[in-house]
Every structure is written in C-alpha cells, then in structure tokens.
Amino acid sequence: MKVILVDDEPAMLFVMERLLSNMTGVELVGSFQNAAGVLDFVRDRAVDLAFLDIQIAADNGLELARSLRVVRADLDIVFTTSHADYAIHAYDVYPLDYMVKPISRMRLTQTITRAALSRGGASDLTPNRLTVKGLGCFEVSSKQAGTVKWISRKSMELFAYLLVNRGGSVTKVRMLEDIFPNMPPKNAEMYLHTAVYQLRKVLSEHGFKGKVISGQETYRFDLDDVDVDFLQIEQGVEQLSEINTANATTAIELEKRFSGELFAEKPFEWATVERDRLAIVYTFFAKRLANWLLAQKRFREAAQMRRKSYLAMNSKRNRICCYCIYSEPWETGNPCIIVMSTIRKCCF
C-alpha cells in the first residue's frame, strides 16, 4: 500500500514516518509540509492512502482533500488533527478515518488495516517487530526479514550489551571498558564506531532505522517494537506478587519460558552479573510457584520445578552437578500420589 503524508509539523511527520516504516506491506512514497505539489504528485504517481492534516499552515486540508478526490476518486483519505471539532466538517469528503493527535501505533495499525481491507488486500498489516531470544541462546529475528545475520561478532555483542541496559543510556567510556577490555583506547574507540555502524546497518535491513541512538558520548537502544524474552519474563514476575488460582496458569507458562542462562555459550564477560541476577530472580519465582503447587497437592509439577530451579542456581555457580529428587508414596498409601521427600545434591 502506497502512502503519503501531508502535515506542517516536522515532528508529526517524523513520528508518522517512523511508525509506518515498521509496518509490513506499507510504502511511504511522499511526505509534504504544505499543499504545494501534492496534487501533481498524486496525479503522476500511484497513491493508495493519504494522511492529511486539516490545518496545514496557510493551506486548508479540507480543500486539498476535495481536490484530491477530483484527481483520484479511489484515494483513501485519513484526516489527522489536534482538534476533534473539525470531524463534522471533514466527513463531506468521505474520509476513510479521522484521527486525533497524538496518534498511537495501535490506532494507526487499525486504520492501515481498514484501508487494506477496503481495497481487498490482506488484513495482516501488523507492525514489524524485532524478536529477541536471549535465554538458553541468542537469536534475533524480525517479521520483515527473518533471522538477523550479524556482520561481525562485536556488532552482535554490542546489541546484547545495549539490550541488557534496558533502553538506558550508557557512556562510551564504560562501553569501551566492558566490550573492548585490554585494548588501546584509540583502537577500542575505532572498533566501537565500526560495531555501531554495522549494528545500525543490519537493523536497517530489517526495517529498524534509528534504533541505536547516540548523543553526548552515550549510546542507547530504543526498545519500542522489540520483544525481548528475558525482559518480558522479569516484568511478568514483578506483576505476579502473589500466586493464586486466578493467575496460576499464567505463572506456569511464564516459568516455562525460562529456558536457560542468559546468552548461553556466548563469552560475554560483562554479562556475568546480569546472568547471575536473572538466575536468582527465576529461582525465587520458581520456588514460590513450587510451594503453591505443593499446597495444591500437585506434587509432580512442584518437584520438577524445584529441580529446574536448583539446576539454574547451580549453573550460576559454574559447577557441574545436579539435584536428585527422591519421592515416596504419600501417607495415604496411594502409590500414584508422590511427594518430594528428599532432595540430595550430587556432584559428578
């Protein structure tokens, strides 16, 4: 779907361009800050959808819409404005939609989907998202282009480093110390700039421009449109302050998502503290959940969860060992009901 934007506010154009760039099946073909040139552009180019500000500096968005209707009768028009009062006047040009600023990603997605359906297109015009699996592995993919293929190991490590900082700014000095230890400062800085360039390049190929933000000797990663498993799990744990019948299923599914150490098998020395911290977060959560399961007499599930949490803590200590769980018939005599009776630590 080919889209144009007409708005006299540069900030609004920037936001809309960014939101649209992350939507599959959408191509932004033109962006204007006034009405001049819009009619000729639409007359000469294929355009499916126009987002028009009703007040465009000295121009009138409603008059522009009426003129566009003459030039291209099948053009879908969406009005955007800061004032809801204009809605009644706007409908005499039969717009597809009317959106009041600020415009959210979800609201824009709904409008784009309506436009696609009105043209007989597919309804799967959901925003492009970056998916990160950092527990038990390190895999990154996008809906638009599939698995991310890293240009270099350091660009991959830089991405992991910025993720761990959860969208916060990190000073260049600290990054040089953590990612390029024992390297002469000038060489380290050169390698950092190269890694930043490579990371930006590979993310741009997946439809994510401008995600690595730099300024005043700092860097940060914008987490909008990004799903990170270890961040989602930690947020989920924080929300489950109490486990009960109503949220038990959610808690169990959340526990299952913990599939191993952070960035497993990746030799990121700077990640050791965060790796250990997440293991502790998981262990205490799994213990709470196992205790609740025991109280519900769901003994087998509780035993399995306890074993998994002990192994997680053990891998944190970097030792090879396991916890053997012995079970015996419940006191009722029913051999089908087991209870965790003894936990013995074995090293080998």
Q: Among 20-34, 192-206, 214-228, which is the least confidently predicted range?
A: 20-34
Contacts of range 28-33, beta carbons closer than 8 Å, 24 or more positions apart? 28/3, 28/4, 29/2, 29/3, 29/4, 30/4, 30/5, 31/4, 31/5, 32/4, 32/5, 32/6, 32/7, 33/6, 33/7, 33/8, 33/57
Give 133 or 308, the one with higher predicted confidence.
133
Average pLDDT over residues 263-282: 93
Given pLDDT bands bounded at 50, 70 and 90, which one contains residue 315?
low
Residue 127 contacts residue 96 (beta carbons within 8 Å): no
- pLDDT confidence of residue 48: 92
Please state whether 184 falls in left (phi above 0), alpha (psi between -120 and 50) or beta: beta
Whether the predicted pLDDT of 321 surpasses 80: no
Give 163 or 63, the one with higher predicted confidence.
163
Q: Using the structure block, give the residue that is written with the tokens 């204009």.
A: 86
- pLDDT confidence of residue 145: 84
Given pLDDT bands bounded at 50, 70 and 90, which one contains residue 39?
very high
**The two structure tokens encoding residue 43:** 């007359």
Q: SS3 of 60, please?
A: strand
pLDDT tens digits along 165-183: 999 999 999 999 999 999 9
Nearest Cα residue to 139 out of 259, 316, 234, 274: 259
Specify the DSSP element, H or E, that contains 141.
strand 139-142
CA distances from 112 to 77, 78, 103, 119, 122 (A): 11, 10, 13, 11, 11
- pLDDT confidence of residue 90: 53
Q: SS3 of 29, please?
A: strand
Whether the predicted pLDDT of 340 surpasses 60: no
Residue 97 contacts residue 114 (beta carbons within 8 Å): yes
pLDDT tens digits along 95-136: 888 888 889 888 898 898 888 887 775 545 566 889 999 999
Number of other residues whose CB lies within 10 A of the CB of residue 189: 16
Q: SS3 of 45, please?
A: coil
Average pLDDT over residues 139-161: 94
**The two structure tokens encoding residue 118:** 């009105």
Give 2 or 348, the one with higher predicted confidence.
2
Give 305 or 170, the one with higher predicted confidence.
170
Given pLDDT bands bounded at 50, 70 and 90, which one contains residue 322?
very low
- pLDDT confidence of residue 78: 93
Which strands sit side by side in the sheet containing 97-100, from one edge to the other?
Answer: 27-32, 2-6, 49-53, 76-81, 97-100
- pLDDT confidence of residue 92: 56
**The two structure tokens encoding residue 252:** 């169990």
- pLDDT confidence of residue 121: 58
Average pLDDT over residues 293-298: 96
Whether the predicted pLDDT of 331 surpasses 60: no
pLDDT tens digits along 202-231: 999 888 888 999 999 999 999 988 999 999
Residues 6+ apart with CB under 8 A from 174: none
pTM, two decimals, is: 0.63
Number of other residues whose CB lies within 10 A of the CB of residue 317: 9
Average pLDDT over residues 304-310: 86
